[in-house]
Amino acid sequence: MVIGITGGIGAGKSTVMNYMKEHFDCFIIMADDVARDLQMKGEEAYKEIVDWLGEEALLPDLELNRAYIADYVFEDSERIDKLNSIVHPKVRERIVKLINDNISKYKHIALEAALLVEQHYEDVYDELWYVHTPKDIRIKRLMSDRGYSYEKCLSIISKQLDDDSYKEAADYVIINDGDFNNLYTQLKSKLV
């Protein structure tokens, strides 16, 4: 079974994925990792991004300057759409290939991405699980783990789906409020 794991930034999707991998021998696909790989020098999305943004988007080693791109792109919704139009189709294609290459080797494949709902991955996964974490906990995690300012946290969260939209799309809601025993109990109940 292919399980889509989604939720807002700071919800703990990676924690869920790591637990599934370690305890249930799931094959794990992290959409952000796939996107990062596709943007490495010589990969499929790299040339299109450089053609669009020019050489100022490159580091001295000719890899993409992710900090520059993030600052430039996230100021403007049209730029976000442009970057997404370059990266997302290639990510989806690579994810489908990874699933097809591994579906017979594992009982479960877990696909994590914040945008599974928005990018309409319904035809890729069998079930969608939403990792729900209260907003205040997410903000604390982001400020602590990533060094984000409070304002940056609010800005990012405001651009993502709200809880009700995620819940409406999900087949299962996982509560991740910091009680790891409860989190693991929920996962065990679905994966055994």
* 166: containing domain: 2-26+106-191
Residue 86 lies in a domain: no
pLDDT for res 44: 86
Determine contact, residues 111/95, Cβ cutoff 8 Å: yes
Residue 133 lies in a domain: yes
Residue 99 lies in a domain: no
pLDDT for res 74: 80
Q: Locate 70 and state its tokens.
A: 């993030």
Where does the pLDDT of residue 135 fall: very low under 50, low under 70, confident under 90, or very high at 90 and above? very high
pLDDT for res 146: 93
Where does the pLDDT of residue 119 fall: very low under 50, low under 70, confident under 90, or very high at 90 and above? confident
- The rounded distance, in Å, linking the Cα atoms of 190 and 77 is 37
- The rounded distance, in Å, linking the Cα atoms of 187 and 140 is 24
Task: Give the domain CATH number at 22.
Answer: 3.40.50.300
pLDDT for res 4: 97
What pTM was computed for the model? 0.86
Does the pLDDT value for residue 5 go beyond 90?
A: yes
Residue 156 lies in a domain: yes
Total of domains in the chain: 1
Residue 117 lies in a domain: yes
Residue 72 lies in a domain: no
Residue 160 lies in a domain: yes
Does the pLDDT value for residue 25 go beyond 80?
A: yes
Residue 93 lies in a domain: no
Amino acid letter, 120: H
- The rounded distance, in Å, linking the Cα atoms of 103 and 114 is 22
